[in-house]
Structure 1
């Protein structure tokens, strides 16, 4: 079986609204199950790839603070 996880995740959320995307993310986090981590990683990759350098710097600063806690 040849499963392309990136394609599957992106296909599942391709037409989602902001509210639906937020629900998907918060639900995955609240579930706390490791099976959702790859999907969240795919969403982060998409976010990163569409961000300009200023947005990336902001994400990195936020992440730096988050991992220190």
Structure 2
């Protein structure tokens, strides 16, 4: 089931430009619906997998400060 969610989210966002991706993220956060959380998790996973260790460290620092 996890792979189906990942594939669906990636398929739905495939070909989106930066503005469209930003709109998706902002809408998901502002909407605050629980059903949007898996999609945001998939996007976080993409960011994590495409990041170097320095950027990952920055992300972790910001997460630590935020929670």
Query: Which of the five TM-score ranges fits, normalised by the shorter chain?
Result: over 0.9
Shift of 1:41: 0.3
**TM-score scaled by structure 2?**
0.92
Please report the RMSD computed on the Cα atoms of aligned residues, expressed in angstroms: 1.0
> How far apart in 1 are the matches of 2:22 and 2:66?
19
Structural mapping, 1:10-49, within 5 Å: 10-49=10-49
Unaligned runs of 5+ in 1: none
Unaligned runs of 5+ in 2: none
The structure with the largest alpha-carbon Rg is 1
> How far apart in 2 are the matches of 1:10 and 1:34?
19
Report what 1:50 is aligned to: 50
Cα deviation code 1:13-58 (max 9, x no counterpart): 1111111111000001111100000000000001101100001001
Runs of 4+ in 1 over 6 A off after TM superposition: none
